[in-house]
Amino acid sequence: MVGSYEKINYSLRPAKSIERKMLCDVFRRLSAFDKVENYQYIGFGSTYFSDFILFHKALGIANMISIEKDKKNKERFMFNRPFRCVNLEFGESNEVLPKLNWDTKNILWLDYDGKLDSSVLADVRFFCINASPGSVIVVSVNAHPVRRPDNVELSQLPAHRLQKLREDVGDEKVPPDIKVKDFAGWGTAKTFRRIIDSEILQTLNERNVERASGTHFLYQQLFNFHYADGAKMLTMGGLLYDKGQEHVLAQCDFKNLSFYQDDEKPYVIEVPNLTYREIRYLDTQLPIKEDEPPTLSAVPKEDIEKYARMYRYFPTFTEADI
């Protein structure tokens, strides 16, 4: 099977780039729990290692592990490794995660290019059983509605999507109130978030059975992104901490982040198409002052509003000789 990295240049996806920088801001606030550079970062670097490059340069994290399932192309991954502090582990995430050190605080980004299935939930469960307080989990999955197979009539497609989800994650993992109509548009992403969130909370409840109430592990969702650089994608996740650290959580002030979402309501990353000249002009009017929104008569108001929401994270791609 051809790896997705051979089809998509992950470093040139604008919404993904914005998301990556927003996550960097989240991780920066973990300093209330520990120095961010003391964290271990675990991700799926692919051949581009975009998240590894950003988090090492911006946050100083030097303990980094990239899980690569494509064992046949080890040489290519090793060649593209951006820093010697990035250690590569080859194999499926279900195989690799149990081999890693979980005694330290971890940032785990399970950045899948496929849809939610039982393997994803197994990784989520493993994290929730083993992660140390102060650790963060990020889960990205393809949330595009399942396409109609040739042998399925159009009228049968909604029921097929529900049945496919039950097959992929297990019937007991699907909320009983989910209906066939819930998979249209961004409905698949909303359903996926509910299933992942339930897996986190259920696993922590099991982990807390033998712990004193004052030391229970808790989970705080910090972000719930919807975006589409092509296919619809969901990224959600948050912080694992124990009840005795509630004052530390408050010090992080996550709620002050413009994209903070602690419930089912998504933060939609929509990238307007603007020229570099338009961007430079709008930047002179930002950040927004009360009752003084940026204006540019030639650009639709909706695009200006989208840009103003996330201008600090907006990517700029240009051609250069390196």
Domains, the chain, in order of start with CATH, read 4-145+185-269 (3.40.50.150), 276-313 (no CATH)
Q: What is the pLDDT of residues 201-251, one digit of tens each?
A: 999 999 999 899 889 999 999 999 999 988 999 999 999 999 999 999 999
Residue keyed to tokens 């102060």 = 134
Tokens at 86, concatenated: 């990035």
Q: What is the pLDDT of residues 252-282, one digit of tens each?
A: 999 999 999 999 999 999 999 999 999 999 9
Q: List all residues 6 or more positions away from 39 whose beta carbon is below 8 Å from its beta carbon.
A: 27, 30, 61, 63, 104, 105, 106, 107
**pTM score, whole prediction:** 0.92
> What are phi and psi for residue 165, nearest 5 degrees?
-65, -45
Mean pLDDT lowest among 37-41, 103-107, 305-309 = 305-309
